[in-house]
Amino acid sequence: MASTSSLTADAVIDKERMDSFHAHLSKSTRVLSLLGAGLSATSGLPTFRGAGGLWRTHDSISLATPEAFDANPGLVWQFYSYRRHMAMQAQPNAAHYALAELSRKMPGFMTLSQNVDGLSQRADHPREQLQLLHGTLFEVRCMDRDVCRYGPEANFTDPICPALAIPTGADPTSNEARKGISEYLHTKHQGKDLDISDAAVPLPDLAPEDLPICPQCKKHLLRPGVVWFGESLPSEVLQTVDDFINQPEKIDIIIVIGTSAKVYPAAGYIEEARDKGARVCVVNMDENDRPSGGWEEGDWFFKGDAAQIVPRLLEPVIGQVKVPKEAKAQGSH
């Protein structure tokens, strides 16, 4: 591995290593980026990885399957409604804005995102240069793909239906309080969103009729427009990515941000880019998150917060990234 660096609040990236990346970026015309959940960590969104991957008492992966939806659509919708709500409360961070600006400055830049949180889109990342490998929380479609072809359709309504509203601290005189729900829920958090990812916060059991129904067939449930485990990635997205990679011109760099790059087919794009001449740059908090094929001479690794590092990496092309005030406030938590 050619370059290793770390960045904290009071540290500086090694100048020689950063200069090496800048020199290569400045003469590059075709660049890929592969994004993972670590990109949005500074925006306050959970990554649902490893030991922190539980939602209430459930492994988050176990909720992200068609079988889970069939068995308990109410629970799965509560999980995704929570994620929609959290994503809408969050703001894009400086890395989202930097990548969006690079797209405008470099026509040969393509971003492949595994994120479903919508933050890249809200940072005005040009849509034709952003391929959503796993879909998005903010599209919905009919569960019945054999008969009803509704969706995917954009939907930013929060909550998407009344039964999925995030509960707030209850009135101490309510029936729930009299039934003995913790005073913690009624006083400290009264009037505030409760953290329903905490299993101590009571959630109702929802029946199918409580959940969003397809407006077209008016029969089947709507489902989130994300790719669940066991499902195929969107064919049009895969085709667009393949077309970009298979162009005759070489790829100069692939920048891998906030992802372990172990899930295929996304992880395979790193080696495909290498085969087209790309050098690999990884930005991650975890030193163990390395390309599946290992490091090669000329690669870069920058350890630290993507929101701090990515704007610095791209500065020779984009200049100083401009972040709206509300995004700065969110990122300062």
Look at the alpha carbons of 314, 318, 321, 324 in this order and tell me if their dihedral is positive or negative. Answer: negative
Overall average pLDDT of the 182-187 stretch = 40
Overall average pLDDT of the 191-196 stretch = 80
| Cα 333–chain centre separation | 19
Active site residue 134: yes
**If DSSP states are collapsed to H, E and C, what string results for the chain?**
CCEEEEECCCCCCCHHHHHHHHHHHHCCCCEEEEECHHHHHHHCCCCCCHHHCEECCEEHHHHCCHHHHHHCHHHHHHHHHHHHHHHHHCCCCHHHHHHHHHHHHCCCEEEEECCCCCHHHHCCCCHHHEEECCEEEEEEEECCCCCCCCCCEECCCCCCCHHHCCCEECCCCCHHHHCCCCHHHHCCCECCECCCCCCCCCCCCCCHHHCCECCCCCCCEEEEEECCCCCCCCHHHHHHHHHHHCCCCCCCEEEEECCCCCCCCCCHHHHHHHHCCCEEEEEECCCCCCCCCCCCCCCEEEEECHHHHHHHHHHHHHCCCCCCHHHHHHHCC
Instruction: Output the pLDDT for position 312.
Output: 96
Q: 253-257 and 279-284 as β-strands: parallel, antiparallel, unpaired?
A: parallel
pLDDT per position as a tens digit, 211-259: 999 999 999 999 999 999 999 999 999 999 999 999 999 999 999 999 9
- Please tell me which residue in 134, 186, 189, 220 is annotated as part of the active site: 134
pLDDT per position as a tens digit, 16-44: 889 999 999 999 999 999 999 999 988 98
Q: Show the tokens assigned to 35.
A: 């994004």
Lowest mean pLDDT among 30-39, 102-111, 132-141, 173-182: 173-182
The predicted model scores a pTM of: 0.85
pLDDT per position as a tens digit, 263-313: 778 889 999 999 999 999 999 988 877 787 788 899 999 999 999 999 999
Q: 130-132 and 109-113 as β-strands: parallel, antiparallel, unpaired?
A: parallel
Q: Flag whether pLDDT at 154 surpasses 70.
A: yes
pLDDT category of residue 327 using cuts at 50, 70 and 90: low
217 has binding-site annotation: yes
CB 166, CB 196: distance < 8 Å: yes
- Residues whose CB falls within 8 Å of the CB of residue 230, separated by 6 or more in sequence, listed in order: 65, 66, 67
Kindly provide the b/e burial profile for residues 239-277, where b requires at least 16 CB atoms within 10 angstroms of the residue's own CB. Answer: eebeebbeeeeebbbbbbbbbbbeeeebbebbebbbebe
Angle ∠(11,14,16) on CA atoms, nearest 5? 160
142 has binding-site annotation: yes
